[in-house]
Amino acid sequence: MTHKGSCHCGDVTFEVEGDIGKVLECNCSHCSRKGLLLWFVPQAAVHNDTPEHHMGTYTFNKHVIQHHFCLRCGAQPFAEAKDAKGKPTVAVNVRCLEGVEIADLQRTPFDGRSL
């Protein structure tokens, strides 16, 4: 299934291919403040339609995750990094996907605050 996503204002748009299973709800200072619910997919499953000049990137802590956000509205639709096996991975903020009923998703708590 193809999911369409965007930031709030629409300057950042993307598509992601796959079926949403469990989503991760991290309690780190970044994710908890933004209310992120993350679905992890291989980088090849994401097609980003956004011109680079519309997105900013934020890193913190170990600076290995590239948190991308819209420069106009500030929404963070996805982040890029490598998984534990070194494969390029995208953490999609499911709150930025069209037609996804958040209440129907299975949330998995993650203690990112302890990292």
Give the domain 2-114 fold. 2.170.150
Distance, in Å, from the CA atom of 52 to the CA atom of 55, rounded to the nearest integer, reads 6
- Candidates 47, 45, 44, 37; CA nearest to 19 is 45
Does the global pTM surpass 0.85? yes
pLDDT at position 34 is 94
pLDDT at position 40 is 97
Amino acid 25 reads E
Mean confidence (pLDDT) of the chain: 95
| Helix or strand (DSSP H, E) at 115 | none
**pLDDT confidence tier of residue 115, bands split at 50, 70 and 90:** confident
pLDDT at position 75 is 97
| Percent of residues in the chain assigned helix, strand, coil, to nearest 5 | 20, 40, 40
Rounded mean pLDDT, 36-49: 96
Does the pLDDT of residue 23 top 90, yes or no?
yes
Tens of pLDDT along 43-92?
Answer: 999 999 899 899 999 998 888 899 999 999 999 999 999 999 999 999 99
Domain ranges of the chain: 2-114
The alpha-carbon radius of gyration of the chain (Å, integer) is: 13
pLDDT at position 49 is 87
**Residue 33 token pair:** 């403040």
